[in-house]
C-alpha cells in the first residue's frame, strides 16, 4: 500500500530547526548535510582530548539544526569518517550568543584547516548543556562517543 503523503519544505525546515534530524532525513529522502571550511577555534577540544574541526558554513543562509550534539558522518578529501558534532554556544566555557559548529572525527588525526568538509547529520544525541566542571563535560562527551560508536557499529 502506498501512502499519499504531502511533504512540504516548511515541514522539513521545521524538523531541522527543532533538531529532529531523523524526521527531516525521512522527509528529505536522504540525510541532511551542510558544507563548510574548517577554521581555527580556541583549541579547547584538543585540550580535553577531543579535538574538533570548527566549521564556517559555506552558504550564509544555510539552515543550521537546533543547538545540540549530533552523530554525523564527515566527508573530507581523505574519505568518510564517523563523528560527533556540537552546535551551540559552548556554555561550559563562555556565555554569549555566538553559535559555533564543531565536529570531532572519531579515530582520526590530521590537519583539516582551510579544507572544505561535508557534515551529514544522522541523529541528534542530546541538547547542549552548561556543565559544572570540565570533568563533567568530558564524562558526558565520553558517553556521547559511546552512543555514536554504537549507532555506527564501530
Q: How confident is the model at residue 140 (pLDDT cuts 50, 70, 90)?
A: very high
Q: How confident is the model at residue 42 (pLDDT cuts 50, 70, 90)?
A: confident
In this predicted model, what pLDDT tens digit does every residue of 48-64 receive, in sequence order? Answer: 889 999 999 987 788 99
User: Domains of the chain, with CATH numbers?
Assistant: 32-152 (2.40.30.30)
Q: How far apart are CA 125 and CA 16, in angstroms?
A: 14
In this predicted model, what pLDDT tens digit does every residue of 70-121 receive, in sequence order? Answer: 999 999 998 999 999 999 988 788 777 788 999 999 998 888 999 999 999 9
Q: How far apart are CA 123 and CA 100, in angstroms?
A: 18
Q: Are 66 and 19 in contact (CB under 8 A)?
A: yes
Core vs surface per residue 48-58: b (16+ CB within 10 A) or e: eebbbbbbeee
- Record the cell numbers describing residue 24, joined without a space: 527531516
Percentage of the chain modeled with pLDDT above 70: 97
Q: How far apart are CA 125 and CA 127, in angstroms?
A: 7
Check whether 11 has a pLDDT greater than 70.
yes
* Mean pLDDT value across residues 119-124: 97
- Compute the mean pLDDT over every residue in the chain, rounded to the nearest whole number: 91
Whole-structure pTM over 0.95, yes or no? no
Amino acid at each position: 500500500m502506498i501512502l499519499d503523503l504531502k511533504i512540504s519544505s516548511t515541514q522539513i525546515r521545521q524538523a531541522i530547526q527543532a533538531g529532529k534530524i531523523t524526521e527531516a532525513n525521512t522527509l528529505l529522502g536522504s540525510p541532511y548535510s551542510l558544507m563548510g571550511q574548517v577554521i581555527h577555534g580556541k583549541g579547547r577540544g584538543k585540550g580535553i582530548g577531543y579535538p574538533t574541526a570548527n566549521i564556517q558554513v559555506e552558504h550564509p543562509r544555510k539552515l543550521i539544526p537546533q543547538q545540540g550534539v549530533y552523530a554525523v558522518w564527515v566527508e573530507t578529501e581523505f574519505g568518510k569518517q564517523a563523528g560527533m558534532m556540537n552546535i551551540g554556544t559552548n556554555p561550559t566555557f563562555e556565555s554569549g550568543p555566538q553559535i559555533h559548529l564543531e565536529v570531532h572525527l572519531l579515530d582520526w588525526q590530521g590537519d583539516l584547516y582551510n579544507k572544505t568538509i561535508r557534515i551529514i547529520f544522522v541523529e541528534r544525541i542530546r541538547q547542549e548543556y552548561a556543565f559544572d566542571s570540565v570533568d563533567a563535560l568530558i564524562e558526558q562527551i565520553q558517553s556521547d562517543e559511546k552512543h555514536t560508536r554504537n549507532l555506527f557499529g564501530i
